[in-house]
Amino acid sequence: MNAALFPDLIVNGEQVPHTVVAAETQNHDAPAGKPGIAWRKAANAVVIRTLLLQEAKKRALEAAPQEVAPGKFETQEEALIRGVLEDAVEGTAPNADAIRAEWAKDPERFRAPPLWEVSHILCACDPRDAEAKHKAMHRAQALVSMARKDAKTFAAIASQESDCGSKSSGGTLGQLGPGDTVPEFEAILRTLQEDEITSQPILTRHGWHIVRMDAVALGAVLPFEAVKPKIADAMEKASWAQNARTFVAGLIASAKITGADLKPV
């Protein structure tokens, strides 16, 4: 192994195996033909993880892995890192003046959830099946062209061509709000204007969709008192995140590290 590109990593006297850094490189991008950049990014990430685990040991912390998703739990290392950050870092609760100042920057940001009236045509496929995905995409592209030539034909096309049960009502899905559909579909709804039809098919886990926005009702701007707790919570979380970065920077500054430079790459 080229020692210049892949140097030994030592953190406060603890040598980190090359295999640990190599495993981390899969989480970092680098230009083609420049594996050293991915290695440096990975080494920096491993240094921070190692420092936090060393700090957890110094504080004699114990942490039980928590469930982070249904049936999915933290690793022991992840639990210890969470534990040391919880032990060492606190967020600062903003005062009333700071909260109002944040709200006053742009009250339009704080609205009730929007409502969308939507119709769609589905060309169903399993996105994991490359052949079926490709075939369904070509079919969907042809339907996009048909629908955009004359928007009045959308319901008729949906009734004949859609693979969704909504075909019986001309593709109408009715009124939808945030969280009512899969994230990929909702992301498109947030970009469409009233009466607009997507210019290209949209892929979700269900297949390819041609979407028409029938009507949009933007949520009303909420009064300050209604959003004050949400703003305060967001500001405290931002403060915690900044304090966590400062804490980690302190660990780096006081550490003896070889094999990583902790500079952006």
Domain 115-217 classification at class level = alpha beta
Task: Tell me which fold the domain 1-111+224-265 belongs to.
Answer: Triger factor/SurA peptide-binding fold (1.10.4030)
pLDDT one-digit tens code per residue, 162-211: 999 999 999 999 999 999 999 999 999 999 999 999 999 999 999 999 99
Give the pLDDT band (50/70/90) at residue 5: low
Which pLDDT score is estimated for 152?
86
Closest CA to 120 of 182, 58, 167: 167
Token pair 């933007």 in the structure block, residue: 218
Residues 180/121/185/206 CA torsion (nearest 10 deg) = 90
What is the C-alpha to C-alpha distance for residues 158 and 162, in angstroms, rounded to an integer? 5
Per the prediction, the chain carries an average pLDDT of 93
> Tens digit of pLDDT for each residue in 10-41?
999 999 999 999 999 989 887 877 777 888 89
Decide if pLDDT at 1 tops 70: no
**Extents of the domains making up the chain:** 1-111+224-265, 115-217
pLDDT (0 to 100) of residue 11: 96
Phi-psi region of 129 (alpha: psi -120 to 50; beta: other; left: phi over 0): beta
3-state SS string over the chain?
CCCCCCCCEEECCEEECHHHHHHHHHHCCCCCCCHHHHHHHHHHHHHHHHHHHHHHHHCCCCCCCCEEECCEECCHHHHHHHHHHHHHCCCCCCCHHHHHHHHHHCHHHCECCCEEEEEEEEEECCCCCHHHHHHHHHHHHHHHHHHHHCHHHHHHHHHHHCCCHHHHHCCEEEEECCCCCCHHHHHHHCCCCCCCECCCCEEECCEEEEEEEEEEECCCECCHHHHHHHHHHHHHHHHHHHHHHHHHHHHHHCCCEECCCCCCC
Please give the pLDDT value at position 133: 95
Report the pLDDT value the prediction gives residue 104, as an integer from 0 to 100.
95
